[in-house]
């Protein structure tokens, strides 16, 4: 079977499962919902700060608007904070469930080249995650503009960094999906894979933060975890002590690439 046919077969598998539609739809809703909540929080802060500034003579009002304007441009990608967990879990199940039901044997009979089979799964789940991220960010952008306009914080789609942030949101979810699928292939178990990927995204940053408090040598380690690097990747402007957008993207890419390489080697060498 050719690679394109393998991709088509994996696409049919993904779209034939109701759970896939449910998880991807919830991911999309989370993207929009978190973006909407971020917009409400931002407009509330702006109103409060402007009121305080007005009482003090209004000297800093413009600087406040400029600062909040940057935050407003980050609203479209805000939902990746939640959507990443759903996308990662779906990616794990995409291959972990096949090992659990022994369907992987049928898959590898249809696609004897194991690397081709895994790469086809990777392309399908990564493409789906990218689409959810970009579409969700675009909807978040559209929903946010009417709410931001009364505060002077609305902005065109071509404003500095906006399109890049929207594309980065999709790219981040795609890379997290690759990481999740790779862990699923390495562990061959959906439950174990989901626990592992969620641990990497949630518990590992907490452990690193605790270690950083105990020893300064761990201080910068957290910057190179997928979640922290991913937030820098989608940010319009990063803090001075953080990675740049490009550096953040490269870190997440490295996590996904190393995990995928390990998955390919494992699937090729081990019996199904």
CA-based Rg of the chain, rounded to a whole angstrom? 21
Name the residue ranges covered by the structural domains of the chain.
Answer: 3-269
pLDDT at 43: 87
Are the C-beta atoms of residues 129 and 91 closer than 8 Å to each other?
Answer: yes
- Going by pLDDT thresholds of 50, 70 and 90, the confidence category of residue 129 is very high
Rounded CA-CA distance 215/208 in Å is 10
A 10 A CB-CB count for 127 gives 16
* 13 Cβ contact list (under 8 Å, min separation 6): none
pLDDT at 70: 84
- Going by pLDDT thresholds of 50, 70 and 90, the confidence category of residue 160 is confident
**What H or E segment, with its residue span, contains residue 138?**
helix 114-148
Tell me: pLDDT of 58 over 60.
no
Query: Residue range 122-129: average pLDDT?
Result: 97
Rounded CA-CA distance 173/64 in Å is 31
pLDDT at 214: 82
Are the C-beta atoms of residues 162 and 57 closer than 8 Å to each other?
Answer: no
Phi, psi of 110 (to 5 degrees): -70, -35
Q: Which residue has the higher pLDDT, 39 or 109?
A: 39
pLDDT at 57: 57
Query: Residue range 159-171: average pLDDT?
Result: 93
Tell me: pLDDT of 6 over 70.
yes
Tell me: pLDDT of 35 over 80.
yes
pLDDT at 60: 53
Q: Which long-range CB contacts under 8 A does 194-203 form with residues at least 24 apart?
A: 194/88, 194/89, 194/92, 194/93, 194/96, 197/88, 197/89, 197/91, 197/92, 198/85, 198/88, 198/89, 200/225, 200/226, 201/84, 201/85, 201/88, 201/176, 201/226, 201/227, 202/85, 202/227
Q: Which residue has the higher pLDDT, 271 or 246?
A: 246
Are the C-beta atoms of residues 114 and 267 closer than 8 Å to each other?
Answer: yes
N residues, the chain: 272
pLDDT at 52: 67
Tell me: pLDDT of 66 over 80.
no
Tell me: pLDDT of 46 over 70.
yes
pLDDT at 193: 95
Looking at the chain, the whole-number percentage of residues with pLDDT higher than 90 is 61
Instruction: Give the lowest-confidence range in 16-20, 129-133, 179-183.
Output: 16-20
Looking at the chain, the whole-number percentage of residues with pLDDT higher than 70 is 93
Ramachandran assignment for 158, one of left (phi > 0), alpha (psi -120 to 50 degrees), beta (any other):
alpha
pLDDT at 171: 98
pLDDT at 109: 84
pLDDT, mean over the chain? 89
pLDDT at 55: 62
pLDDT at 137: 97
pLDDT at 122: 96
């Amino acid at each position: 079977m050719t690679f394109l046919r393998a991709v088509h077969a994996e696409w049919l598998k993904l779209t034939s499962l109701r759970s896939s539609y449910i998880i991807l739809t919830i991911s999309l809703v989370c993207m929009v919902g978190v973006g909407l909540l971020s917009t409400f929080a931002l407009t509330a802060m702006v109103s409060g700060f402007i009121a305080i500034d007005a009482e003090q003579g209004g000297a800093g009002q413009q600087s406040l608007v400029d600062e909040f304007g940057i935050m407003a441009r980050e609203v479209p990608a805000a939902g990746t904070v939640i959507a990443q967990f759903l996308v990662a879990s779906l990616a794990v199940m995409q291959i972990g469930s096949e090992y659990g039901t022994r369907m992987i044997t049928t898959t590898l009979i249809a696609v004897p080249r194991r690397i081709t089979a895994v790469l086809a799964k990777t392309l399908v789940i990564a493409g789906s995650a990218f689409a959810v991220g970009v579409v969700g960010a675009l909807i978040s952008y559209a929903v946010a503009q009417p709410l931001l306009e009364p505060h002077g914080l609305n902005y065109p789609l071509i404003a500095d960094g906006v399109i890049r942030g929207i594309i980065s949101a999709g790219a981040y979810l795609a890379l997290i999906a690759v990481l999740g699928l790779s862990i699923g292939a390495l562990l061959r178990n959906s439950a174990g894979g989901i626990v592992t990927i969620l641990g990497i995204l949630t518990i590992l940053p907490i452990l690193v933060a605790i270690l950083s408090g105990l020893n300064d040598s761990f201080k910068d380690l957290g910057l190179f975890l997928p979640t922290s690097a991913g937030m820098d990747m989608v940010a319009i402007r990063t803090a001075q002590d953080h990675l740049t957008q490009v550096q953040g993207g490269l870190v997440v890419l490295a996590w996904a690439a190393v995990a995928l390489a390990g998955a390919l080697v494992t699937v090729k060498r081990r019996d199904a």
